Chains A and B, each alone.
Chain A
Amino acid sequence: NAGVTQTPKFQVLKTGQSMTLQCAQDMNHNSMYWYRQDPGMGLRLIYYSASEGTTDKGEVPNGYNVSRLNKREFSLRLESAAPSQTSVYFCASSWASGPGYEQYFGPGTRLTVT
C-alpha cells in the first residue's frame, strides 16, 4: 500500500497563475484533509472532507477550492496564486472524522509563489 500520495512534490508559480494539487489514498479512508505548514505556525487546516460528497472549510480556506473526486481522491486548487500561499501543503486521511481516528499524512508539496 502506498498510503497517501501527493503530486507534485515541488512547484514554483508566478503570482496569478493557477494550479491543482492532487492527493490520493489507498487505505479506504472516508475522511480527507488539506493542511498548510508555515515556519513557526504548525499545521493549519484549509479544507476537509468528512466523507465522499462533502467538503467543509477549515481555519484558512480563503484563496483555495477543493474537490472530493471520489473516495480515494481529494484535490486542492489555487485559482490565482499569491506569494502568501508559499507554503508546504500536506494532504491527510483518516478512517473517519470522529475523536478516535488518527490521520495519516502524505509526503507534502512544497509550493513557492513568486
Chain B
Amino acid sequence: QKEVEQNSGPLSVPEGAIASLNCTYSDRGSQSFFWYRQYSGKSPELIMFIYSNGDKEDGRFTAQLNKASQYVSLLIRDSQPSDSATYLCAVKGIQGAQKLVFGQGTRLTINP
C-alpha cells in the first residue's frame, strides 16, 4: 500500500460545479496534511493545509480531514477553467518522520 494515495484522474468537472479531490494515507499517526496545486510545467504551490479533524475553508476551497478514516479531501466550489491543474496531496508525520510524502496527484480539468 502506498503511503499517500490519490486517484490520478483525469477528473473532468463542468464550470461552476463543485470539484471533489480525495486522498487517503496509510499512517494513522500522520500529523499534518497539505494540498498543492501544480500547473503544467510549473512548480507546486500551496493551496491549503489542515491539522485537525473537520473542515477548513478558504475562499472557494474547503479541506476536509477525517483521521479515523485516514482520509483528506479538497472541495473546490464554483470551479473555474483556471482551476484546471494537477492537485497534489501531501502528508507529514508518516512513521514519525518530519518529511512530506506526496501522492501521485489528481489531474483536474474544468470544462467551460
Query: Residues on A close to B: CB < 8 A?
Result: 33, 40-45, 48, 50, 58-59, 90, 97-100, 102-108
Contact = CB atoms under 8 A, between A and B. Distances in A.
Given A40-B104, A42-B88, A106 B51 contact: no
Contact of B93 (A44, A99, A102, A108): A99
**A contacts with B: majority SS:** loop
Nearest to A41: B104
B85 to A, nearest CB: 14
Interface string B96-112: 00111111110000000
Interface residues of B, number: 24
Contacts of B34: 102
Contact of B51 (A44, A99, A107): A99
8 contacts: A42-B103, A42-B104, A43-B102, A45-B101, A97-B99, A98-B98, A102-B34, A105-B44
Given A42-B103, A90-B43, A102-B34, 9 more contacts: A42-B105, A43-B100, A45-B101, A59-B101, A98-B98, A99-B32, A99-B92, A100-B51, A108-B42
Contacts of B43: 90, 105-108
A100 B100 contact: no
